[in-house]
Each structure stands twice: as structure tokens, then as C-alpha cells.
Structure 1
Amino acid sequence: MNNLKYLAKLKRFQQLFLTTILGDIPTILGGIKFRNLLYRAIFYRIGSSVYIQDGVEFLGTDSIEIGNRVHIFKGVRIDGREHENNKIHLENGVAIERNVLIGALDNTCIHIGKETFIGPNVCIAGPGDITIGKHCLIAANTGIYANNHNFTDPTKPIKYQGITRQGIVIEDDCWLGDGVKVLDGVTIGRGSVIGAGAVVTKDIPPFSVAVGIPARVIKSREGQELVKFTDSPLLTSN
């Protein structure tokens, strides 16, 4: 048992040392090549042609799998924690812009599909499982939160009442506009568009356009207008 604890501590030190030293080597001085070469020793897997800028922070690297041609820019923090059942998987061609936070807690799987774009200042947080499909566009300042705090007992601090974790699914080819919030237990159907600033609290059917707080479906992309608004929020680009 003592040997196992020692090996676990040694492994964590190795991860921390390499990510700290290599993470700050400027791109212009060959940092990308050094990172791609030596990170392979501590990550679950890193594919080919991966671009990781300097200033990216990784925790729990043996829970993180990075596919081919993934781009990760400055200020990103990907936290796999130290738990054997955690998994963060970025499929081929994923691009993660600046200052994105991706965080797992115990027994959490976060999966981001092929060629999905994550805009700047996005937060993707467990501990509920989160699946984002392929070819999605997640615009800046979006929050995807797969947990909820219990607060039924007014005599106890909310922080001590525990949480629920149902998980979130965003299916393929979805576009979430600037500042969208997706709450726990939600599935957003394939090909849906969520307008800027919307708060998604319940499931959205495939190929829908939804806006507002809480988000309401106003149109099907297959041609049927469901609700008319005189002052609908605009859908914005990334």
C-alpha cells in the first residue's frame, strides 16, 4: 500500500513538473515540439499534429486524451483531476480558443466531438457527464454546467447540502450563440441553434431554433415557424 501511494505521488510530481516547465516555453522557441514530444509520457494519449500554445494548464493528465490536429490556445485550463474514472476526450480537429475552462470531478466523462469549435471564455464543468457532438460551434462566454446544488434545507449552508448530476448532451452540428448557458439534465438535439444569451433549462428537439430565458423553441430549421416574437434576441456568430 505504501509503495502504491509513493508511486502515485511520484506520478503526480512528474505530471506537475512537465506541465509547469513545458507549458511556459514560448511557441516561438519551439515549445510546441517539446510539449508534443514529452507530454506523450504523461497524457492518456496525444495524437499527431497537435498544437498547444504556451500558457495552457493541464491537471490530471493521465485522464486526458487528445486526438489528431487539435488546437489549444493560451489561457486554457483542462482539469482531469486525479481520479481513475475520469476521462476528458478531445476528438480529432477540435479547436479550443483562449481562456476556456474544462473541469471534471470524480467519475466524470467529458467528450468533445470531431472538429468542434469552443470559443473564448467558455466554461464546461462536471461532475455530471458532458457530451458535445461533432462539428458544433460553441460561441464565446458560454457556460455548460452539469451539476446543480441542493438547497431544500434552509437551516444548512447550501454548500453542505450536496449536488445532483444528471449530465448534458449537445448533439452533432449545434450552434450555441454568445453567452448561452446550458444547465444540468439537458439534451440539445442535432442541428439546433441556440440564440445569444439564452438559458437552456429543458430539452431542445433536433433542428430547432431556440431563444430567451428560459430558452423556447421559436422555429424548426426544417421550415416550420412555431412562435412569433416581435423582439427576439439576435443569433450572433462566434
Structure 2
Amino acid sequence: MNRREDFSQQQSVTDNSKANCSMGWKYRRDEYLLALLSSVPTGVGNKLRQLAYPLVFERFGKNVTIEFSVRFIRPKSMVIGNSCSICNYSFLNCWEDGGELVLEDSVRLDQGFHLQALGGKVRIGQNTYLGPYVCMAGPGDITIGKNCLIASNTGLYANNHIFSGVDIPINQQGLTAKGIEIEEDCWLGSGAKVVDGVTIGRGSVIGAGSVVTKDIPPYSIAVGAPAKVIRQRTLSEVK
């Protein structure tokens, strides 16, 4: 290797090191800002967050309400639409590469909402409400359509552990991640669970405490563990 090539390699390492330091500082700066402002009570705190948070998110809409003690991890991977609200003690994590969260306009996340994107893409449609202590996890993609109602303590888990080998610990066998889709105008009752690979059709109702393991056709009412369709909604109910 000649001196020119050696210098070029050293310069490349130096440039990469500077880039990593710069990126690390940006993450730390954002984390410090979020930690500082998240502790300020709603009212004055919300005004401060409306001013500062557009600097650290991918996009941060107008008239957004973020209550105190809401924690964001890697907000540069998050889009918050206009007139959204996120209630206190919520946790939204898009740290892993590829992770992404999009809240369309007028989405409301109630107290204690918990998201671990784990590298998956999560999109919540316009005018959708997620109740207290709803939990969502990737790494499969999760899509919730507009005008949905997701009641308290509901869980959406877009992953499944492989456990076929009895001679290998389950936590070392990897995951499958097919994704979850909830089409628009659905209502999931309190404590419902939706597993990986499921699509819930438009206008469907899932009973409280149900476990959805298979696709649900549009305009269905499904209950039980595992959830089974007990009837279809009629036109008079839809109007």
C-alpha cells in the first residue's frame, strides 16, 4: 500500500468517526430536550412542546397536544399529524433501524399507550382512538385504518416466536413477522388481543377479551378465544 492509499484510508476512518460523533450528539441532544420538556406539566408544558418538538421529529403537525411524562425514542422516525393528542405516561419507541411511526391527523393515544416498533412500520389512520394501556409491538408492520376505536388494554403483536426445536431455547429460535392490518371503522373491545398475520376487515367489531388468530371478514362481529364470527352487521346497523 502506498502513502496516498494509506492516507485515503485514514481520512475515511476519520470522516466516519466524525459522522458517528455528530449523529451521536444529535441523538443525545434530542434525548436531553425531550427529557427536559416531558416533565413540564400540561398547560405551559404543552405550549413549550409545541414549539420545540418540530425540531426533533420527522414531522410534527399543528395543534398537537403532548401531555407530560410521554417518552419518545428516536423521534426522527416519527410523523405526528395535525390535531393529534398523546396522553401522559405513554411510551413510543422506534429505535431499531427501519422502525417508523406515522400518526395521521386527529389520532388520540390515551394514557399509558405503549409501542415497540422493533424495526417495523406502524401507521394509525385519521380520527382513530386508542384507549388506555394499549400495547403494540413489531417487527411486523402494523396498520390501523381511519375512524377506528381500540379499547383499553388491547394488544397487537406483529411477531411470533419460533418454537419448533425442543433442543434450542425458544428465545434463540428467532421470530416470524407477517404484520397486522385493521381496516377502517373497526371497534376492538377492551382486552382484545390480535396476533401476527391477521387482517380485520372494515367495519368489524371484536368482543372484549377476544383473541383474534385468523382473518375477520368485513362487517363481522367476532367474539371468543380464539375469536369466531357470530354474525354479520346489516345495512341498517351500518347507517
Question: Is this a same-fold pair by TM over 0.5?
Answer: yes
2:170 maps to 1:170: no
- Cα offset, 1:113, TM superposition: 0.2
Aligned position for 1:60 = 74
Give the aligned CA root-mean-square deviation in angstroms. Answer: 0.9
Q: How far apart, in 1, do the equivalents of 2:199 and 2:42 lie?
A: 38
Aligned position for 1:105 = 118
Aligned position for 1:13 = 28
Where in structure 1 are there 5+ consecutive unaligned residues?
224-238
Give the number of aligned pairs.
220
Aligned position for 2:54 = 40
Summarize the Cα distance change of 1:82–1:152 in structure 2 as closer, same or farther, 3 Å threshold.
closer
2:203 maps to 1:217: no
Runs of 4+ in structure 1 off by over 3 angstroms are none
Normalized per residue, the structure richer in helix is: 2
**What code does the residue aligned with 1:20 have?**
A
2:108 maps to 1:95: yes
Note the alpha carbon deviations across 1:23-62, whole angstroms, 9 max, x for none. Answer: 001114x101111111111100000000000110000100
Q: How far apart, in 1, do the equivalents of 2:121 and 2:217 lie?
A: 23
Where in structure 2 are there 5+ consecutive unaligned residues?
1-15
**What code does the residue aligned with 2:226 have?**
P
SS of the counterpart of 2:115? strand
SS of the counterpart of 1:33? helix
Bigger Cα displacement from structure 2, 73-82 vs 128-137: 73-82
**What code does the residue aligned with 1:98 have?**
Q
With normalisation by structure 2, the TM-score equals: 0.90
- Cα offset, 1:222, TM superposition: 2.1
Aligned position for 1:191 = 203
Q: How far apart, in 2, do the equivalents of 1:198 and 1:4 lie?
A: 49
Q: How far apart, in 2, do the equivalents of 1:78 and 1:86 lie?
A: 11
Larger radius of gyration: 2
